[in-house]
Chain A
Amino acid sequence: MKAAVAGLNLLLGMVYLSYGLMTIVDLRRGWEKRGFSHFGLAWIAMAFTCGPHHFEHGLHIAVAGRDGGALDLIAVVVGLPAGVTWFLLRVDALAGGRGDRFISGTPRWISALPALSAIYLVALVGAAGAVLAGGADFNPKMTPNVLLLAVYFLVGYYLARTQLRNRRLIGGWSLSGLSLTFVFPTCGLMHIAFVLYAAAGTYTVDTHGLVIDWLAVPAALYFVWVVRSTIYLQTFDDWNNSSAGSIPAPAAAPA
């Protein structure tokens, strides 16, 4: 159990850090053509706080001999397929591929996802009861992880809304969008599993973990602010407005 929790958290940490580096490269490459991107910076901030969170958690279990709980393992296992799919699609795009796959119609496995998610949530609530049965101590050290749950669910909501609208338009699903939609809520649930074990005394919240988690809060809030400002208010143009920053050459008549 401990080895699996440690290994998967280390893997997730590496994936996030790689994704952060990928976004830095992307931002740097697109800067000249499209200028600065709030989306890019927000992603980098997220990746470089989420990644270290998982990395630090995995290292503590693997090296410092701390406990790894079953709920934590399940949360990572549930989120991993979506996370790895999204990551591989980005690698595919970088390698010159399409970076997405079209899923025609609504296959059975997609239809089953809401029900499976509901079952998972109910089971998680039940398991939380069992974990906390021996007593719980909620204290301010757990606050950042609870806040991250709320923010990640909000981002998941924005993504799910787009996927549902696109399905009506195109008669199918984008694998890239679908995987990303599931990444955020499952990440949030990983944080809540962490909170449950910390409250039960299985996990210890130490200083460097707390620093990383508190840095993740403003990063996540910045991310939500960017998303909301771009989609709902259009208060600024980001890389969706690629023409910004270019200046058309004047027309010229033959000499």
Chain B
Amino acid sequence: MNLARVTGMTSAGSAAGSQAGNEPDALALRVVARIRVAVAIGVAATGSFLPGMSGGPEWLFLVIGLLWVPWASIVLLAADRATSPVSLLGGPVGDVAVLFAVQMLAPGVAHAALPGYVAVVAFAAYTSGRDFAALLATGALTLTVTAQYVTPAAKVESPSAALFGGVLVAVVLLLDRTADMQRREVARSNRLEGRSDAVLAHIADGVLVTDAAGGVVQGNPAVARLLGRWEDDLVGRHCSEVLGLRAGERALDCSKGCALLAGGVSGDPALGREVWRAGTDGRRQPLLANAVAVGGVDGSIEVVHSLRDITKVKQADEAKTLFLATASHELRTPLTVISGFASTLRSDPDTDPVMRERALAAIERRSVELTKIIDRLLLSSRIEAGRVDLTLAPTDMAPLLWERAEALAAATDRTISVKVPGDLPAVHGDAQACVTVVDHLLDNAIKYSPGGQPVEVEMRGAGDDVVLTVTDAGVGMDAEQAARCFDKFWQAESTDVRRFGGTGIGLYIVRSLVEAMHGDIAVSSVPSAGTTFTVSLRRALAEAPHGGVTPGTEPSVIREFMRQIGVPMRIDA
């Protein structure tokens, strides 16, 4: 069984297992419910094509079409839940009623109802147990006798009637016993299988099972994600082909058995060994790998590989190192200025008043700078810890944008061109978060256009979004830099930065806040030509989760209908 394929079913399997043998056969219920609807529609349709019908047969087909078809449909809908009483009991009861109608309204074919009763009672014994089946069998016998008295033409001979009763009793007893034993076995099997499937399907580590020769026999969803392959693409291939593991610069040799198992790689086998493989983009993908031999289903030996992607751990480690260097540098610069001026003022009390004023202004300016850096660091750690609470409400961006642009233009003596239409709709956002986003993007545009190039800011309504673009004609970024610019602590010039300064968390903060407001951010950039950041925030009042009036971003008639009928939508990845 392919583990990844049963991801969505494992919880159901576990639930079934927990019922300890009382769960009816859901599949049988569904299949029979579908067959019942098909038969009901087929019979009703056939009847509607028969010419010259009248009296009892015509009534019979009306009963089947107008009562049995709807009832069978209701049972079909209920059959999605195996424990629904409508599905368990209602289906057979409806069938018995229809068979009685056949005996009453079409006495010429009344005998055909008897095997029908047996089939219905047998199914009830299998799905609902002995008591209900016995009740149904009694009902079938009673109705058959009643039909004979009311409609003499439907008479069943005594030997046939006795045989009919005997068969019903035998069927009830035999099928109840069989079904009970099967239910217990299935429940036990479900419990065991459900548990192991659920564990494997939901663990974050990749698990790949191979036979002794290295052929992949099983893989969980995590390993498929980790290897960048479809689950179906794993089974049957050789492990060296799908894994391609390397230790240092040497490829692991799996030709004489599993290299991980044989200790072909240094490291603690219990904790896992550090290896790597070439990712789908050609880069190194560092992994912590482990292997253990276990007995397979048919007694053969199988090797269970567990793989953990430690790319993020490595990156975090590198980022932390870089951040410590960056933050130290950023904090040291203003502190050096503050410290220098403070000691000058202290050592020379008779400093010229003009010089003294300049020193105090510099100390003040650098203190503000220091506070800003610390504020950013604190906001970044609050975002990381998930402790940023935003109040989303209609927010008018136009005055906010003008105010921040004018303030920054005055402070930096730069030209910032602002284009905002008079009827700009309000956004669904948090006012303080919007200020932070605008401030960071403007700061960024000014900082990375050191030649004094113009900065342009535009805001406009676009469908149910409001779009903010901040464009500079500065140094720009290449595609790789642009792809990583929202990463925490990342800067385009990470080699001792510091042409432009900064801690590398500004754009990380911007993206986190925009996403928290259900918006999107994108960047387009050309080296030496400039960068444009585009932020899309939702228009106020248009935001309506679970099928509101926010139109889809694509003209899908199917999704539009699903939205209108109240199917909860998930956003495209």
A238 in the interface (beta carbon within 8 A)? yes
B331 in the interface (beta carbon within 8 A)? no
A225 in the interface (beta carbon within 8 A)? yes
Question: Are A90 and B560 touching (Cβ within 8 A)?
Answer: yes
B542 in the interface (beta carbon within 8 A)? yes
Question: Are A253 and B284 touching (Cβ within 8 A)?
Answer: yes
Residues of B within 8 A of A255 (CB): 282-284
Which DSSP category, helix, strand, loop or mixed, fits chain A's interface? helix
Within 8 A of B (CB), among A135-178: 138-141, 143-144, 146-147, 150, 155, 158-159, 161-163, 165-166, 169-174, 176-177
Name the distance in Å between B520's Cβ and chain A's nearest Cβ: 15
Question: Are A166 and B61 touching (Cβ within 8 A)?
Answer: no
Residues of B within 8 A of A90 (CB): 555, 557, 560
Name the distance in Å between B504's Cβ and chain A's nearest Cβ: 16
**Which residue in chain B gives the minimum CB-CB distance to A138?**
B62
Question: Are A23 and B228 touching (Cβ within 8 A)?
Answer: no
Name the distance in Å between A230's Cβ and chain B's nearest Cβ: 5
A251 in the interface (beta carbon within 8 A)? yes
The answer, among A207, A248, A252, for a CB contact under 8 Å with B225, is A248
* Interface residues as binary, B424-439 with A (CB distance below 8 Å gives 1, 0 otherwise): 0000000000000000
Contacts known (A140-B65, A210-B49); A251 close to B567, Cβ less than 8 A:
no
B56 in the interface (beta carbon within 8 A)? no
Name the distance in Å between B380's Cβ and chain A's nearest Cβ: 21
* Interface residues as binary, B1-33 with A (CB distance below 8 Å gives 1, 0 otherwise): 000000010000000000000000000000000
A221 in the interface (beta carbon within 8 A)? yes
Question: Are A239 and B559 touching (Cβ within 8 A)?
Answer: yes
For chain A, the count of residues having a C-beta within 8 Å of the partner chain is 79
**Which residue in chain A gives the minimum CB-CB distance to B549?**
A174
A169 to B226, CA, bound (A): 40
Residues of B within 8 A of A181 (CB): 564
Question: Are A96 and B555 touching (Cβ within 8 A)?
Answer: yes
The answer, among A99, A138, A231, for a CB contact under 8 Å with B552, is A99
Contacts known (A90-B560, A242-B570); A250 close to B65, Cβ less than 8 A:
no
Question: Are B315 and A250 touching (Cβ within 8 A)?
Answer: no
A145 to B286, CA, bound (A): 64
A240 to B561, CA, bound (A): 11
Within 8 A of A (CB), among B439-454: none
Q: Which of A35-43, A51-59, A62-70, A119-127 touches B? A: A35-43
Question: Are A165 and B309 touching (Cβ within 8 A)?
Answer: no
Q: A99-B560, A228-B80 are in contact. List 10 more A-B contacts (CB 8 A).
A: A43-B557, A90-B560, A144-B45, A176-B564, A180-B564, A242-B570, A243-B572, A250-B279, A253-B284, A253-B286
Q: B residues within 8 Å of A by Cβ?
A: 8, 37-38, 41, 44-45, 47-49, 53, 58, 61-62, 65-66, 69-70, 73, 76-77, 80-81, 224-230, 279-286, 309, 311-312, 314-315, 463-464, 541-545, 547-549, 551-552, 555-573
